[in-house]
Amino acid sequence: MSNILVVGGAGYIGSHMVKHLLAGGHSVVVADNFSTGFRDAIVGGTAVELDIADGAALDALFAAHRIDAVLHFASFIAVGESVTAPGKYYQNNVAATLSLLQAMERAGVKQFIFSSTAAVYGNPRYTPLDEIHPKEPINPYGRTKWMVEQILQDFDTAHGVRSVSLRYFNAAGADPAGELGERHEPETHLIPLILQAASGRRKAITVFGRNYSTPDGTCIRDYIHVNDLASAHALALDYLAAGGYSTAFNLGNGNGFSVQEVISTAKKVTGRDFTVVDAPRREGDPAILIADATRARALLQWQPRYGDLATIISHAWQWELKFFRQT
């Protein structure tokens, strides 16, 4: 059993991580400023309200709790907003993360799991994307994540802080038990947007482009269940605890589903029809983004359990119905 600090543990992926760690017998401290997270998403452990930009608050937290490792989920994630408000993203995603790492250095905490993204790669030169693909992020969001990955390399060299950066592709789904799910405000992810249209919370779902070089003309993405992301983080903790070196892993199923396939599957799962509106392509949307997660499977012994699209959507739909009833 370890003592784990989960930063951003009131958010979508962080809250699922907390539940996974508690089920594994770990002691969990959650740090969140609740700017986008939800207090009722923390299912256990000790919650501390703070901003990781506040070094003194972090020092107090590390003094009060013996922490073996830190998992960092707290970041802004809206790609479009990062383009129009880059300062907000560099301040929160880079500067605040640096504050966290410096507090870890002062406290002598040497293990760090970082929530990174496939956006570090930019437009794919080939697909599936492996970890050695060139890092050419095309927006401030992707650049902030790549900057932090490089900072982590320097903190390993200088201070012996070993880290694993996990580059998510498209996080999706919800807790199979129905206790947790996705509720971003505003929502930008495809599957919850589709399910909001199915439940009646949204008038329609928009498809941006049907003229891509794919079988049905719509973009193809790799969707990874949030519980499978949580299991990968837990395995990354085990990897570092066993003396593993700093590295990065892609997290995806290795299977691509088009926007139209997601819509069609959602209609089958929900048993509901809804309005689909076609719109022009969005600038910067690659035709295909699929992960090569061979390294995570080999080095972490990671095996996704929920790779089936219908299962991912079914769990998200269960959450949408619960959320819809509460509003």
**Residues labelled catalytic:** 141
Q: Say which amino acid occupies 171.
A: A
* DSSP output for 198-239: HHTSSSEEEEE-S-SSSTTSS-EE-EEEHHHHHHHHHHHHHH
Cα of first residue to Cα of last residue in the chain, in angstroms, is 38
Bridge partners (DSSP) listed for residue 278: 207
140 vs 75, 144, 221, 319, CA distance in Å? 12, 6, 21, 31
Q: What are 33's two structure tokens? A: 């400023």
- CB burial readout 66-102, b (16+ within 10 A) else e: ebbbbbbbbbbbebebbeeeeeebbebbbebbebbbe
> 3-class SS at 71?
strand
Q: Which residue's entry shows tokens 């949204």?
A: 202
> What distance in Å separates the CA atoms of residue 101 and residue 64, rounded to the nearest whole number?
17
Cβ pair 6, 37 in contact under 8 A: no
Cβ pair 249, 295 in contact under 8 A: yes
Backbone phi and psi for residue 18, each to the nearest 5 degrees, phi listed first: -60, -45
The three-state (H, E, C) secondary structure of 277-318, written as one string: EEECCCCCCCCEECECCHHHHHHCCCCCCCCCHHHHHHHHHH
